[in-house]
Amino acid sequence: MKQQINIGLLGLGTVGSGVVHIIQAHQEQLQHQIGCPIQVKKILVKDFEKKRDVSVEREVLTDRPEDIINNDEIDVVIEVIGGVEETKEYIITALNNKKHVVTANKDLMALYGGELLSIAAENGCDLFYEASVGGGIPLIRSLVEGLSSDRITKMMGIINGTTNYILTKMTNEKASYDDVLKEAQALGFAEADPTADVEGLDSARKMVILSTLGFSMRIDLDDVSVEGISKVGLDDIEYAQQFGYTMKLIGIAESDNGRVEISVQPTLLPNTHPLASVNNEFNAVYVYGEAVGETMFYGPGAGQLPTATAVVSDLVAVVKNMRLGVTGKSVILPQYDKQLKEKHEIYSKYFLRFQVKDEAGAFSKISSLFADHEISLEKLLQLPVNDNGKAEIIVVTHQTTKQAYEEVVTKLRDLDVVYEVKSSYRVEGE
């Protein structure tokens, strides 16, 4: 039985500093849980002289990853440097050297999670990644352990704090997308290059991880239908509010009889839906199970200490497994073959906004087009446009297939009475 657990930390940025802070500040509680001290033995950094939030002795720092991943004294490697290809090789080397790994790297796990988990199992090692989705929300552990006896049918939620902050400000303060994005960047909620967040790629990677776990099916990034918020305008948000909806970037993963759909897109939710009141940088995910029904997980989706808390919680789980002699036993590879829904199997309501010629017979042509595809309208609003001879129509459809709806939108654009299709959004949660 080891008398001390030695940690090698890859990275001492925001999250890495938070990990060191928690290990230092909570040492007494951690020892009580696991039965021995935890020591940070080596930390990989780029700049030895950089000022940091935590105090670390100079000899603990290194700029050589091999000082950690090939170090016989280190038991657990914690990876918080980000990146994919190079980081993947570090983790593979660590696992092959019989070191357990904790990572917060959603990009890595979305692309190579299955491969890395297999390597971990082959080496009798644990590989945990709670912090990769939802920051401090214990979502992955809940899927793997708390809901393991249930059959998950749907997961739906807000899993990117940057986009939720932007949409919250646009909704509550009527500020433009560009203005709010600049504010988010100034506050540190958005990166200098915000593409991964605002175009939905960050959320898509998280949905890959959740779907693979929730449905026990190997989901790839290419399986996710992705649309970001960069084209969302204030007009869309205001019209949606007139119908009683709130705009959120929502990740959806749904399974019916073993066939699944995974998407990330701007979505309208009824104002009464709990996700509609999740604001600013907070995250929340609904999980639907056949037995448990609806459960909701809510909390900070990012930030130094929330994310570091998830990392250290994984570390505690690894050490407990080490002391019980059961490391490498928790990996459960996907059970089912991947079966993706076709467009005619995906049902939803839709919000559609378009401009038409304000003339007799125009709406009759439009109504006939919807009727031909067996799409009925639940809500309708028609408004004059300042330009002469134009009217704006906003509709919310009843449930219809994605295939039928996309065909209608395509044909609308070709109608001689339609000037422009302005926007289109999925409606969920009713």
In a domain, 330, yes or no: no
Same domain, 284 and 148: yes
Q: Do residues 91 and 108 touch, judged by C-beta distance below 8 A?
A: yes
- State the Cα torsion 163-168-170-175 to the nearest 10°: -110
Q: Environment class of residue 151 by beta-carbon count within 10 Å: exposed (0-12), middle (13-18) or buried (19+)?
A: middle
The H or E element that residue 173 is part of is helix 161-173
Ranges assigned E (strand) in 60-201: 61-62, 76-79, 100-103, 127-128, 152-158
Structure tokens that stand for 304 in this block: 């130094």
Same domain, 124 and 166: no
Whether 390 sits among the annotated catalytic residues: the reply is no
Over residues 292-318, the pLDDT tens digits come to 999 999 998 878 888 999 999 999 999
- Number of separate domains in the chain: 3
Query: Domain boundary residue among 300, 332, 355?
Result: 300
CATH classification of the domain holding 406: 3.30.70.260
Over residues 225-250, the pLDDT tens digits come to 999 999 999 999 999 999 999 999 99
Same domain, 29 and 153: no
pLDDT band at 187 (very low <50, low <70, confident <90, very high): confident
Main-chain dihedrals φ then ψ at residue 226, nearest 5 degrees: -125, 130
Residue type (1 letter), 18: G
Same domain, 312 and 255: no
Structure tokens that stand for 150 in this block: 């249930």
The 10 Å CB-count burial string (b at 16+, else e) for 290-306 is: eeeeeeebbbbbbbbbb
pLDDT at 396: 97
Same domain, 68 and 171: no
Same domain, 158 and 272: yes
CATH classification of the domain holding 13: 3.40.50.720
Cα gap 195→345, rounded to integer Å: 30
Can you tell me the mean pLDDT for 320-342? 90
In a domain, 407, yes or no: yes
Give the range of the structural domain holding residue 313, as residue numbers without chain letter. 5-135+304-324
pLDDT at 1: 64
In a domain, 289, yes or no: yes
CA geometry: angle at 374 spanning 372 and 375, to 5°? 110
In a domain, 161, yes or no: yes
The answer on pLDDT for 386 being more than 90 is no
Q: Residue 333's closest CA among 136, 120, 161, 151? A: 120
Same domain, 212 and 280: yes
In a domain, 334, yes or no: no
Cα gap 79→69, rounded to integer Å: 11
Q: Environment class of residue 192 by beta-carbon count within 10 Å: exposed (0-12), middle (13-18) or buried (19+)?
A: exposed
In a domain, 332, yes or no: no
Cα gap 104→289, rounded to integer Å: 26
Over residues 395-419, the pLDDT tens digits come to 999 999 999 999 999 999 999 999 9
Q: Do residues 236 and 177 touch, judged by C-beta distance below 8 A?
A: no
Tell me what the pLDDT averaged over the chain comes to: 94
Using alpha carbons, list the distances in angstroms from residue 324 to 99, 122, 128, 318: 16, 18, 17, 10
Same domain, 365 and 313: no
Can you tell me the mean pLDDT for 328-334? 83
Same domain, 78 and 192: no
In a domain, 264, yes or no: yes
pLDDT band at 322 (very low <50, low <70, confident <90, very high): very high
Same domain, 151 and 112: no
In a domain, 358, yes or no: yes
Give the single-character DSSP code of 132.
G
Over residues 128-170, the pLDDT tens digits come to 999 999 888 889 989 988 888 999 999 999 999 999 999 999 9
Using alpha carbons, list the distances in angstroms from residue 77 to 92, 279, 383: 11, 35, 60
Same domain, 127 and 21: yes
Same domain, 240 and 386: no
CATH classification of the domain holding 150: 3.30.360.10
Choosing from 41, 42, 169, 206, the catalytic residue is 206
